Amino acid sequence: MPGSMDKSSAGKEKWVRFKLSTPPELAEALSNYLTEMGAQGVFEEFLQPGHSDVPEPEPQDVRVLNAYFPSDTGDDARAAHLQTYIGNLADLFPDLTKPAFDTEIIIDPQWSEVWKRFFKPLRISKNIIVKPSWERYSASGRETVIEIDPGMAFGTGQHPSTSMCLEAMEEILLKDRSFQKWRVLDVGTGTGILGISAAKLGAVSVLCVDIDDQAVEIAHKNVAVNHVGDRVVIVNSEVIKIKGTFELIVANLTAETLIKIKSHLVKMMEKGGYLVISGIIEKNRQDVEKAFTRDDLISYRVIADKEWACYVYKKPAKA
């Protein structure tokens, strides 16, 4: 059995950390599975501790995921379920290195210190820098600095699906002059990084939507830290309950979810407006393209980063 699950130190708050090593192609699937298992936090190690400059994201052959669960009598069962899931992934993708994991019991973890070890300022796109509150960074030129404290939510801009959304948004909001006032909808906001970025890139109003209570709470804090509360509203809701139209809609979700809500997303697009969808892995690209190929949409741009893809669609200005 991977890891050690010592239940000593009774009376103190105990957590079990699952640390996984995986090929990049399987990182998203494992992150989703860990979340579905009940992980209270899942984050990906990208940078070495102590790295103080602002690097460009670099391709990696191996990704390291850390997932945290309250330690209880279900620890061994979780490990067994994860081992079974990894075995199934290995059968589906025999050409990829099989993921591996170990576990560690953590007593009274200091969450702020856990995040600080791995989250440093990072250049996400040409002009966007994402940094945590405990790091200093002085913007120069046209740089836009987004301050994000992930807390227990996943989404710091480091993942390709998020960074590609930011790249697409930056191009649209800074270069397209079709609209004097941009209204933006961020679907599945997580930490709020995309909605906050939209506001800092010039959007006059941003609506961030998420079904996760904890994500909404963290997003509220990040909006306040970035001083964009006058333009950003966060709601705890399913997107199908949202009404109105928007010049830009960004949805960083799974391919399955995007296909499920596609009609509603397109309905909310303002004429001449844009839809940016991400979170799509290579094997699902054909299904997404088929679902979003329709008469009322124009394929505007496709951004790819190894096994990930981001699609930008535009609704014709005239019916």
So what's the pLDDT on residue 111?
59
Beta carbons within 8 Å of 281's beta carbon, 6+ residues apart: 25, 28, 29, 255, 307, 308, 309
Give residue 311's region: left, alpha or beta (phi > 0; psi -120 to 50).
Answer: beta
Q: What is the pLDDT of residues 226-246, one digit of tens each?
A: 999 999 999 999 999 999 999
So what's the pLDDT on residue 7?
40
Mean pLDDT of 84-98: 92
User: Residue 159 and residue 238: Cα distance in Å, rounded?
Assistant: 23
Three-state secondary-structure class, residue 310: strand
For a pLDDT cut of 70, what percent of the chain falls above it?
Answer: 84
Other CB atoms within 10 Å distance of the CB of residue 65: 23
Residue 48 has pLDDT above 50, yes or no: no
User: Residue 199 and residue 223: Cα distance in Å, rounded?
Assistant: 10
Residue 319 has pLDDT above 70, yes or no: no
The sign one gets for the Cα dihedral 276, 212, 268, 195 is: negative
Lowest-pLDDT choice from 93-97, 210-214, 268-272, 313-317: 210-214
**pTM of the predicted protein model:** 0.70
Beta carbons within 8 Å of 229's beta carbon, 6+ residues apart: 223
Lowest-pLDDT choice from 1-5, 141-145, 220-224, 247-251: 1-5
Domains and CATH numbers, the chain: 14-116 (3.30.70.120), 122-314 (3.40.50.150)
**Token pair of 199, please?**
């506001």
So what's the pLDDT on residue 281?
85
